[in-house]
């Protein structure tokens, strides 16, 4: 069982929180908007921390120092980069991951030893795979 902190309880953050809690991990979700916690399922057995994750006091309240894993999922690359760096540098968390929309920033995060999920790059790759499959089928049928 891992102790996992998730920043942002939007569509992605709540999906991860619900799934990881269901798998038996200990999860803390941080969101500055308490309404966002409505997206957590009734089975969610973790903790909710209301506050701005860029504030040190909020990260301390979430017991960040004890976390095995830290995942930044907000819509803002700058917020994700900031909190991920704090988690890495100040709290020495080994596994730090962040959602990054801007593909050009992927390299920077990697240099900071932060694992990146870039939805644009992933969607692009998946579209290309479907296009290649369709292209191969069309060519086979000729």
Q: Which residues bind ligand AMP (CB under 6 A)?
A: 7-13, 30-33, 36, 52-54, 74-76, 79
Helix, strand, or coil here: 3? Answer: strand
Strand bridging mode 95-99 / 115-117? parallel
User: Is the CB of 64 or the CB of 74 nearer to ligand AMP?
Assistant: 74
Task: Give min distance, CB of 58 to ligand AMP, in A.
Answer: 7
Task: Give min distance, CB of 91 to ligand AMP, in A.
Answer: 16
Which H helix or E strand runs over 60? helix 56-61
Residue 132 to residue 21: CA distance in whole angstroms: 37
User: Is the CB of 40 or the CB of 69 nearer to ligand AMP?
Assistant: 40
Residue 136's CB: how many other CB atoms inside 10 A? 10
Task: Give min distance, CB of 69 to ligand AMP, in A.
Answer: 17
User: Is the CB of 78 or the CB of 135 nearer to ligand AMP?
Assistant: 78
User: Is the CB of 33 or the CB of 92 nearer to ligand AMP?
Assistant: 33
Task: Give min distance, CB of 16 to ligand AMP, in A.
Answer: 11
Tokens (6 digits) for 9:
């309880």
Tell which residue, 42, 62, 46, has the closest CA to residue 54: 62
């Amino acid at each position: 069982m891992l102790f996992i902190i998730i920043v942002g309880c939007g569509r992605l953050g709540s999906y991860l929180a619900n799934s990881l809690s269901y798998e038996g991990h200990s999860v803390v979700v941080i969101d500055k908007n308490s309404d966002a916690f409505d997206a957590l399922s009734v089975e969610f057995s973790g903790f909710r921390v209301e506050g701005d994750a860029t504030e040190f006091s909020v990260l301390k309240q979430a017991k960040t120092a004890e976390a095995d894993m830290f995942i930044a999922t907000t819509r803002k690359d700058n917020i994700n980069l900031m909190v991920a760096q704090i988690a890495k540098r100040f709290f020495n968390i080994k596994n730090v991951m962040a959602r990054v929309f801007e593909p050009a920033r992927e390299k920077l995060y990697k240099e900071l030893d932060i694992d990146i999920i870039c939805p644009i790059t992933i969607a692009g790759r998946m579209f290309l795979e479907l296009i290649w499959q369709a292209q191969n089928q069309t060519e086979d049928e000729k």
